[in-house]
Structure 1
Amino acid sequence: MQRLLTDHKTITKTRLDTVPQAPLTSGQARLKLDSFALTSNNVTYAASGFAIGYWHFFPTGIEGQGLVPVWGTAEVVESDSADLPVGTRLYGFYPLAEELVMLPQPDGHGGFIDAAAHRAELPAVYNRYTPVRSGDPADDHMRALLQPLLATSYLLFDWLMDNNCFGAEQIIIGSASSKTGLGLCKYLAEPTERSYKIIGLTSEGNRSFVEGIGACDQVLTYDQIAQLSALPSVYVDMSGNAQVKRQVHSTLGPHLKHSSAVGISHWDQFQPENKVEGVKPQFFFAPAQIAKRREEWGPGVMEKQITAAWKRLAADASSWLDVQVHQGISAAADVYGALAEGTADPRHGHIITL
């Protein structure tokens, strides 16, 4: 079984590794991955591997080496579970590897959770697996690429609405070219009547791409931050770039009502102890908003809203997303490397098939 190991300390450093298949124990099932997506989201998983716990989902048994989690679809090829028969296809959270051995347990809603002991204390949203039909591979690809990213986008939108946008008259999205940033811009633009402007921050090279999405009222490059209007504002940071964050905070000063940290796509510019003017940045953890809504609305309601939301944006994805399909775990190294180095084209959505 092949897998791509990532160095815990230098997340651009990867190597292919081959390990023998472990025999199943009572109640376990073996799933072979069909395909999975690679996006800047996976770079955030690696960069915050210990801070949030992503390295703990799929232990490697090798000191200092981790398996980056990916979203994808796999098929049960061997099972000692009465609940999960061979041939079942499941969408969910997998290691960057050819297979996953899990301990399936029905979740009461038609899906499964991995009840392995080492996952018990990890966020429940990542332990759930959803049965999907065998059909057009393109459906698997779009689901893996867009559902996790746009789910976060929609949860950010819901969280902002839930907090009345903290009284902001403008919402500033850092790294607006990222798919999560792009999705948030689009969701923010959906209300026909809104009291806020949408400001996208991006690099000069990605400016035309963000402008072409048509969701932002204004697009500024990182060297134009000083042009931000002195209005009550919220900053939603997808990149984790410490210098950009300092500039936004110093430019807006007391006008910045909330600063949210979401991703670390610019992981090499991230500084955990970054000191900024004004409000203290707060980390946005999507599973926490899901848990809040489940308690308020009951199970399944927010999940249905998320599904409807990401499918709305996926319907016109051909206008802003070019799906690139690569074959084999070995191909994942170059794709992940480009994402981690920040050289990937934001128009591309990368899928690894096995």
Structure 2
Amino acid sequence: MQRILVNQKSIPQTRLDVVDSAPLAQGQARLKLESFALTSNNVTYAAAGFDIGYWQFFPSGVDGWGIVPVWGTAEVVETRSDALEIGARLYGFYPMAEELVITPQSAQGGFIDAAPHRAKLPLIYNQYTPVRSEAAQDDHLRALLQPLLATSYLLFDWLQDNAMFGADQVIIGSASSKTGLGLCRYLAEPKDRTYKIVGLTSDGNREFVQSLGTCDSVLTYDQISDIARVPSVYVDMSGNSDVKARLHDHLDDQLKHSAAVGLSHWDRFAPAQKLAGPKPEFFFAPAQVAKRRADWGPGVIEKQITAAWKRIASDAAEWLTLQVQDGVAASEPVYQALASGQADPKHGFIIRP
């Protein structure tokens, strides 16, 4: 079984590893991956692997090397479980590898992996959803967009839940990322909105973000001083410490909240910073899901997320080009391009093991 290992101390470094497939114990099932997506989200998983626990989902057994989780679709090819039949297809959280052995347990119309090592990890990452055999593009768009746009929508819901922290503008760092462009889109949807949407991005991606038409203004990281000094919220997808420091210095007491979401610029992240204005707070999407489940009951926020990401996916062909590659080994150059910030935001990368 082929898998990709990532150096936990130098996350751009990868290696292709081959191990024997694990024999099934009673109650387990073997899932063969059909396809999975690679995005900057996976770089965040690696960068926050120890802090949030992403390395714990799929232990590699190799000291200093971990397996980065991906979102994708797999088929049950062997089973010793009464819960899953051979041929079932499941969408969910997988290793960057050819297969995964799970201990399936029925839960809310799908399954969870009841393996002991996953018991204390966030439920949202342990859920596996049955999906029909359908056009491959549907599988690809789901894997690419559903996880990222779910975070985008939960950010939007969280901002609304907090009355935008009283801000007159929302500033999105790394607005060219799929999570960033999703948040811009959701923020732009309300017809009666009273806030402005400001996208921050690199000079090379500015035209792309502008072409989407969801931001009131799009500025490069060199134009932070041009941002209006009015009550603001900063939602940071990149983790770029220099950008964050300059933005905090510029807005200072006009910055009402600073949210840390992603680490796509992981190599420019400084965990201990003294900043003007409010201390940044990490946004953890599963926490907002849990809050809304408590507020509204189970299933409501999930239905809203599904409807929201499908709205954006419906016109994805206008701004997203699928790049489909075969073989687990094809993951390495794609992941490395994402980790080094060299990937084109207009491309959606799919690996078919």
* TM-score of the alignment, normalized to the shorter chain, above 0.5: yes
Give the whole-Å Cα distance in 1 for the aligned partners of 2:148 and 2:109: 23
Alignment of 1:250-329 (within 5 A): 250-329=249-328
Amino acid at match of 1:28: Q
**In the alignment, what sits opposite 2:31?**
31
Whole-Å separation in 2 of the counterparts to 1:233 and 1:332: 38
Mapped to 2, the partners of 1:32 and 1:274 lie a distance apart of: 44
TM-score by length of 1: 0.99
Cα distance in 2, alignment partners of residues 168 and 297 from structure 1? 26
- Structure 1 residue 320, shift from structure 2 partner: 1.1
How many equivalent residue pairs? 353
Runs of 4+ in structure 1 deviating by more than 6 angstroms, as ranges, are: none
What amino acid maps onto 2:252 in structure 1?
G
CA deviation digits over 1:21-69, x for unaligned, max 9? 1100010000000000000000000000000000000001010110000
Matched residue type, 1:312: R
Specify the SS of the correspondent of 2:50.
coil
Mapping for residues 184-263 of structure 1, pairs under 5 Å: 184-263=183-262
Distance, in Å, in 2 between the alignment partners of 1:147 and 1:331 is 22
Cα displacement string for residues 234-276 of structure 1 (whole angstroms, at most 9, x for unaligned residues): 0000000000000110000100000000000000001111221
Once the two structures are superposed, the pairs formed by residues 64-143 of structure 1 within 5 Å of their partners are 64-107=64-107, 109-143=108-142
Aligned counterpart, 1:179: 178
Letter in 1 for 2:167: A
- Paired with 1:49 and 1:274, the residues of 2 have a C-alpha distance of 20
Query: How far does residue 137 in structure 1 lie from its aligned partner after superposition?
Result: 0.5
Match in the other structure for 1:13 = 13
Hey, what's the Cα distance between the residues in 2 that align with 1:224 and 1:180?
A: 22
Structure 2: gaps of 5 or more residues: none
Task: Supply the AA of the counterpart residue of 2:211.
Answer: G
Distance 1:329 1:272 in 2: 33
User: Aligned equivalents of 2:60 and 2:40: distance in 1?
Assistant: 22
Corresponding residue for residue 57 of structure 1: 57
User: What is the Cα-based RMSD across aligned positions, in Å?
Assistant: 0.4
Please give the secondary structure, in 2, of the residue aligned with 1:192: coil
Normalising by structure 2, what TM-score?
1.00
CA–CA distance in 2 between the matches of 1:298 and 1:273? 38
Shift of 1:319: 1.3
How far 1:278 sits from its partner (Å)? Answer: 1.1
Measure the CA separation in 1 of the matches of 2:124 and 2:220: 34
AA matched with 1:10: S
Output one character per residue of 1:102-153: Cα deviation in whole Å (capped at 9) or x when no partner. 000000x210000000000000000000000011111100000000000000
Question: Which sections of structure 1, spanning at least 5 residues, go unmatched?
Answer: none
Distance 1:65 1:289 in 2: 31
1:222 maps to a residue whose letter is Y
Q: Tell whether 2:77 aligns with 1:48.
A: no
Q: Deviations over 1:158-184 (max 9, x none)?
A: 000000000000000000000000000
Distance 1:34 1:77 in 2: 11
Name the CA distance, whole Å, in 2 between partners of 1:319 and 1:268.
Answer: 31
The one-letter code of the counterpart of 1:52 is I
Deviation by residue 1:298-328 (Cα, 9 ceiling, x = unmatched) = 1110000000000000011111111110101
State the alpha-carbon separation in 2 of the partners of residues 319 and 280 from structure 1: 38
Shift of 1:233: 0.1
Distance 2:135 2:255 in 1: 46
* Paired letter, 1:33: L
Tell me the residue number matched to 1:157. Answer: 156
Partner letter of residue 89 of structure 1?
A: R
- 2: CA distance, partners of 1:142 / 1:275: 40
Instruction: Give 1:202's aligned amino acid.
Output: T
Within 1, Cα distance between the matches of 2:129 and 2:181? 26
Deviation at 1:214, TM superposition (A): 0.1
TM-fit CA distance, 1:341: 0.5
Secondary structure, in 3 states, of the residue corresponding to 1:292?
helix
